[in-house]
Every structure is written in structure tokens, then in C-alpha cells.
Structure 1
Amino acid sequence: MPRPPRTEAQLTADPNITTGELQRLVGDSDEGEFGEPTMDDLAPVGEMTEDADLAQRRDVPAAQVAPQGAVEAQVDAGAEDAEPPADTGAEPPAEAAPDDEAPAEEADAASEAEEGNYRKLYETELSKLEAPEREALARSGEDPRLLALCFDALPAVIKGIFENQRSGPSHARLVARHHHTPQGLDVVMNRAEFLRDAQVQRYLLANTMIQEAQLKRILQPKRLLEIYKVTISREIPDRNRQKARLVMRSKWSATDAEERAALIFTTEGRCLNQLTGLPFDSKTVSMLCGKTYTSSLLVQNLARFGATPPPVLAHLLRQNLVRRQQMLKTVILQHPNCPADAKRRM
């Protein structure tokens, strides 16, 4: 009687059967019973042989399997084509500063260099001409001689420059910066398009020969805050800053309450030392009493200003900032205008 076929488990457990016999027996048996052989049946994990690798690729069409030599050739060709980036030592473009963002100092230096050339041209050539010749040249000449004549000290020559159709803002800026007679500066200021130019105004305010009436003509149309900036600007000579303070004091009484209150809050009260003796009108007081104060400096400046009215001091004492800081409270209570009832409550 023939022996029944042994199962796959029995064949695997038999120590007398080698791997080759097991492979043969499994291949000869019914596929429905044992199924397709797996890689675990053929070799242990990590010890796949070259035959097993071929078995893995047996279902891949031959056209899709490239010879090993061809694959290595493609890899070598790709390595040759891929060139490493050259190290030039330059910074990436994103970190490079754009050309239109040159420092302002360089622009000023370039402008001064050009002015130096015009001054040199005037001193070496044009200054040797007689005054009538320079006046005639100013009326009919052109750049660069017309720009060089802006350094002339005679108001008649300056007048002739602006009678010339070729004159423009660049000539007005040179005259405003370097001319030193009130009559010559008036020639520039009498042209409204030049007087509106910000650079012309800046140079006129920095000119030590500008007269008080001329300075007032520039500053009077401006807001109080802009005038205050002139009074503290380091570019403006002391003499002109003093004149600007007089203009600000004269305009304080003529301007509206909103602008006065805005000046006090924007400067945190720093402007008050230039307004000594000037009173607050009722509308300004009302606006100051309607604000919440969060700046210690503003509170201190108002508490030290001699003309601060009693309602404003009483309003300051009710602020949370003052209640938390005994020093601020003390300064306010020492003010001569502090209300007596507010002192009793404290």
C-alpha cells in the first residue's frame, strides 16, 4: 500500500531532508496544497543567493531589465555631467544690497563733491570777471557756469541767475545754502515754486544770514509740531533756533486747541519749556482732561509747568499711573495750582 504524501510541515521538520530535496519535493507537489514557494522557503533571511535574486526578477520582462554594465555606465555618465557648484567666495544675490539703497551719507558726499567742483570753477575762473560781466553771464549762461555763479556774493548776480530761463531748483538750493546776503535770499524766496521745495527750506533755515522776517515767512504756514522740530534740530544754528522759538510762541495763541493738545501729547510735554508763561485756553484744558495718561514723562512735564491749570492737575491725580507712583503724586501736589480739595483727598 503506497504511503500517503507528507505535508509541508512534516517535510520541513524532517532533519534528514536537505534544502535541495525540500525544494524539489515542494516543486513536485500540488500547488493548490503548498502554493508558490516563498523566499523564506528558499534561503534564510539575509543570506539570499544569486539564484534567489534571479528568481525575484523572473517575472520582469527582459526589455525592462538593463544589464548591470549599462546601469553602471549610466551612473558614471550622470556623475560626470553633474558638476559641483563653483565656490567663488561671493555672497548669494539675495543678500547683496540693491543699487538703489545706497546710504544717505554717500549721496550727501556726492552732492558736496559736485558743489566743490562748482565752487572751484567760480574761484578759478568766474570770480576774476568784473561784476557787469558776471551779471550778463548769469542772465545768458548755462551750466556748469550758471551753477558756479550761485557762489557769487553779489545779489545782482543772484537776481540775474533766476532771470535766466535755464535756472531751476538745483540753482535755488545752491543759493539758499551758500549765499550770505538777505537780498540774495529774497530772490529765491520770492519764487513760490522754490520756497515750497523742502531742500530749499532746509538750507534757508540753516543759513546764518536769514532774517527773522524771512524765517517767519517759512515757518508761519507750518504746524506747531513742525516748528518745534526746527527749534530742536541740530542742523539749525542757535540763532535761527531762537527765532523759531519766537515764531512758535507767537503761533501758540493763534492756533486751534486740537493742534496745541496734539503738540503736548506728541512731544510728551517736552515743548512746554519753550512755552513758559503762555496760558492754556478752556478748550485745550478740556481736551487735556479728556485723555488717559500712560506716560510718566508727560505727567512730570505737566506737573512742572507753571501754567498748568487746576483742572488738569486734578485730572492727573485721578490717573492710575499717578496712583501707583508716589513720586508723581508728590510732584503734582507741590504745584501751586493744585486744588486744595484734591490735596485733602490725598
Structure 2
Amino acid sequence: MSKLLKTKKSKSSLLFYCAMCTLATPALAENASQPTNKLTDGSLTTAITAINDEAAEWIDDHHEDVQDRLRNLAHSMDKWFGEPDPQKPASANLRVVFDTRWSNNPTDGSHVTVKPRIRGHIKLPVLERRLSIVIGDKDLDEQDVLTKGSAYGAGHTPNQSKVLDGKQVREDNASIALRWSKLEDTFGFDTDVGIRSGNDLFLKFSVDKDLHQTDTWQISNHNYYRYGTDSEHTLKGEINTQYKLSATRYFNNNINLRYRHEDDREQTTWGNEVRHIHYFNNNKQLSYGLSSYGYLEDGRLSLNSYGPTVSYRQPFWRDWLFLQTEFSYFNDKKEDKSHFPSTLLRIEALF
């Protein structure tokens, strides 16, 4: 009898426990759905937004500070030569580019190169001859990835063994030149007289002309000659043809010829680049096309490299910061390299 009572009591206890659990489950579920931490109730998003706003404010302040310093420098230099005209104030701008390129060719394997670059321009209108100062990497003026091939020069394979060659970076960016703008306004060409790293004194003559321009067609010509005490002779000529397909689409073709003479060695190269360019809202750009490059030797043209290129550029985070990606697929007959992929990631800041 006692065992029977114990068994009934244990069964009753078990049923009571199960009933209590059943009643308690909705309450537990309801409590579990309530946030146990304030950060899960939207506060985390608010905190992240606040941090992002503070970072954006900090970087905008520093960007504005750099711009103010550039303007003050230009105005101070302008005052050295007379009283500035408020209607024609001195101006200054700075372009900082950080290129990272990855390539995977059959000879050297996977390779990454990093190349910081800088370009600045200070215009001093007070000077009677309207001199301006050009600072930094001269090649940035020529290299427009969207219309003129890759940032390394389309079809070129970087051969440096280091990921970041500090010596080369200093040499590429350590230059300063004076430009006589009066010649550009009067005759349509300009001159640069300056010094580059390594005591390479140089003189550069350039001529830019619009050969034909209508609502749909634009044909322009760009030529320059540069002589440096170390780099010696460089001569380049190019014709750029642009056809307007619509308000946001353009067809672009660039033909160029370059001659170099250094240390009794001569080399003449040519290039032809065809691009279809799309312009979107908010300064977004997409470009794709085909390019071919080669040499001019003994009066004969030879094809050395050809392949497609796709590039996309847009601002990110701030309207003065730009992110650009590019993919190319070129070969190099002279280096005995078949077609291989190459990608570029460019971060650019405008001041």
C-alpha cells in the first residue's frame, strides 16, 4: 500500500512539474524576446553611426585644413610679386594617388606592386608672365586609366622585385617645375622648366590643339618634347578622337607614338587604345575596350602586346575620395609572356 501511495505521489509530482513548465514557457519566451542588452535595441546602430559621423567630421576637417594651407601658400607666394587681384586669386590643388596592382604572368608568377604618387599645381596670376608651379609625378598628367590604358601604361608588366620601392617612389614624386602659362594662352602650347630628383634638370615643351570639334565629334592633338640632363630625350605625339554616342556614352580612340633616347640607346613605341565610356550620376564611370602596343624598328611596326581592359571609378564615403578598379588581360611577346590577368586598385584623394 505504501509503495502504491509513493508511486501515485511521484506521478502527481511529475504531472505538476510538467504543467508548471507548460505554463511558464510562454512567459519565458516573452522574456527571452526582450533585449537583455541595450545595444541590441538599436543602440549599437546608433553608436556605429555616431562613430562614423565623428570619423567623417575628422577627415573632412583635415581635408579642409590641407586645402586652406594650399590656398594660403598660393596667396603668400603670389604676394611676393605684387598686389593680388581679388578677381583673379592664386589657386592651388593637390592630387594624391595610391595604386596597388596584382598580376599573375606565366614567367614571374603572382606579383603585387604598390605605388604612391603625388601631383600638385600652384598658379600665380600676379606674375606678368603668369608662372605656375608644378609639383610631383609628371606621369599623372598623361595617365587617364579610363581612356588611355592602365596606370602603369597599358601592356606594361611591372618588373620591380619589391612590393613598395621607396627609392623609386621618391624619385618619381620629387620634382618641381615652373610653367610659363603666357605661352599657352598666346600660342596654344606651354613649357615646363624644372628639376627632378637625382639632379635631373629638365626642359619640357608641350603643344595641345583641338583639331576638330562639333556636337558629336572631338579630335585633339597632344605633343611634347622633354630633355633632361640624366633622362635625356623624350618625344611623344598622340591623336585622341572622341565620338558622342549619347549624353552619357562616348566612343574614344587614342593613337600615340613615343621616342626615347638615353645613354646611346633609342626606342620608339606605339599604342592604339579603343574605349567605350559610360558616365553615370555622382561621378561614376565605366570604361571597357581593346588596346594594342608595339615597337617601331627600322621603319616597320611590330605588334608586341594586345588585350582587353575594363575599368570602373566612383567616389566613396566623401565626394573628394575616389576608388577605381581595373582589370586587363595582356601578353608580352618581347618578354615571351602569353596573356595573363592583371588588376589595379586605385585610391585617389583630391585637395
TM-score, normalisation: structure 1: 0.29
Pair member with larger Rg? 1
TM-score, normalisation: structure 2: 0.29
Higher strand fraction (1 or 2)? 2
